[in-house]
Amino acid sequence: MSTAEPVVETGERTRARVVGVLLSNRLLLFGALIAALIVLVAIFAPWIAPYPEDAGSATHPEILLQPPSWEHPFGTDQVGRDVFSRVLYGARVSPAIAFMVLAISILIGVPLGVAAGFFGGVGDDVIMRITDVFLALPALLLALVFAAVLPPSLWSTTLAITIAWWPWYTRLLRGQAASVTGRPFVESARALGVPNRRIVFRHVLPNSLTPLIVQASLDVGGIILTASALSFLGLGAQDPTPDWGLMVAQGQAYFQTQWWLVTFPGLAILITAVGFNLLGDGLREILDPHATSTFMGRKEAP
């Protein structure tokens, strides 16, 4: 709003701004810490977990359904496995799914979206209508339908969610590509005979990087929630995989008396989602404060 520019170099200003935001934005810091924690837990699970074999096919029927105690901080489940260890191992499952889904969505979305936005024309229309159709359905429902027809497993969940997610990235990249392509300097570059490939790699892609990162970081939380919902419905990971959603589903039957079976895995989902969402929000604030990042294609909150 004020037109007073600082009397300081731009680079310095950006650095100062980032540090300032990082420090003053306790939410971002908090989110980053949680996300880092989850990743660390995922990596070091075999060393941290007191009963690593419980995350696999071990069962201990003699100590089933024990309430939380010193030996078993989260209690034991319906076949005697240590819930704490399983929850720790579960940290490997969810972020892995999220990563895979995002990787594939980006791999599909970027070329498709850039092609649509850059070249425009009929191809653009066709691609956009197709994404429209996919986006006309809520992600969970779409993923649900796909997951239902595939044999239940982690892979089918990943595939199903990817099918629901790729249109977002296609749309995003298409928008970025179209906006950059529309700028006068691209027109002149084309007029000068600069090859398309160069324009795309030199200008379109770098400009699209920031919104892409912001969107991806924001999506992690959403994917984790969707994946756990699918697992809860039995469409995802199967026993003995220590998937949090699955654990909640399995614990549901015993829930009224053995509350720990459902509470801790669910808490894990919640905390992970909160962490990544805070991280994504914070990244958006720093990298792209005026981002029109979207709630179903509309302006969402920064």
Partner 1 sequence: MSEAAATTAVETRLALRGLQIAFGSRRVVDLDELDLGAGEIVGLAGESGSGKSMTAMAILGLATHLGATVGGSIRLEGEELVGAPDRRLREIRGRRIAAIFQSPVSAFNPVYRVGEGFIGALRLHGADAGEAKERAEVAMREVLLSPDLLRRYPHQLSGGQAQRVAIAQALALRAEVLLADEPTSALDVTVQAEILESLRRVRDEVGMSILFISHDLAVLAELSDRLAVMQHGVVVESGSTGQVLGDPRDDYTRELVAAVPKVGEGLVA
Partner 2 sequence: MTRYVLRRLAQAVLVVVGVIVLTFVVARIVPGAPAGSWAGPKASQAELDAVREELGLDAPLPEQIAAYFAGVVQGDWGIAVHTRRPVLEDLMDRAPASIELVVVAMLFALTLGIPLGLLSARWNRKLPDSVVRFGSVFAVSMPSFWLALILQLLFFQKLRWFPVAGQYDPNLDYTHPLMQYTHMPIVDALITGNWWVLRSALWHIVLPAIVVAAYPFGVITRMVRASVLDTLGEDHVRMVRALGFSERSVFAKWALKPAWNPLIAVLALVFAYSLANSFLVESIFNWPGLGAYAAASVAALDTPAIVGVTLFIAIVYVIGNLVVDIAQAALDPRIDLS
Q: What residues line the site for partner 2 (CB under 8 A)?
A: 1, 24, 26-27, 30, 129-130, 132-134, 136-138, 140-141, 144-146, 148-149, 221, 225, 228-229, 232-233, 245, 248, 252, 255-256, 259, 262-263, 266-267, 269-270, 273-274, 277-278, 281, 295-302
- Looking at 1, 149, 191, 192, which residue binds partner 1 (CB under 8 A)? 1
Neighbours of 8 (CB within 10 A): 9
Helix axes 83-119, 26-48, angle to 10 degrees: 130
Q: Give min distance, CB of 271 to partner 2, in A.
A: 8
Applying CB under 8 A, the span of 5-13, 64-72, 133-141, 279-287 interacting with partner 1 comes to: 5-13
Token digits of residue 159: 């595939």
Among partner 1, partner 2, none, partner that 98 touches (CB below 5 to 8 angstroms by kind): none
* Residue 6 is a binding residue for partner 1 (CB under 8 A): yes
**165: nearest Cα among 125, 137, 129, 126:** 137
- Strand segments (E) across the chain: 294-295, 298-299
Residue pointed to by tokens 């699918």: 230
Grouping H, G, I as helix, E, B as strand and the rest as coil, residue 57 is coil
CA 291 to chain centre: 18
* Residue 2 is a binding residue for partner 1 (CB under 8 A): yes
Query: Is the distance from CB of 135 to CB of 122 less than 8 angstroms?
Result: no
Would the CA dihedral through 272, 278, 281, 283 be positive or negative? negative
Query: Is the distance from CB of 90 to CB of 71 less than 8 angstroms?
Result: no
Neighbours of 120 (CB within 10 A): 15
**Closer CB to partner 1, 13 or 183, in the complex:** 13
Applying CB under 8 A, the span of 4-12, 38-46, 116-124, 195-203 interacting with partner 1 comes to: 4-12
Among partner 2, partner 1, none, partner that 191 touches (CB below 5 to 8 angstroms by kind): none
**Closer CB to partner 2, 209 or 271, in the complex:** 271
Among partner 2, partner 1, none, partner that 97 touches (CB below 5 to 8 angstroms by kind): none
* Residue 151 is a binding residue for partner 1 (CB under 8 A): no
Among partner 2, partner 1, none, partner that 246 touches (CB below 5 to 8 angstroms by kind): none
Residues that bind partner 1 (CB under 8 A): 1-8
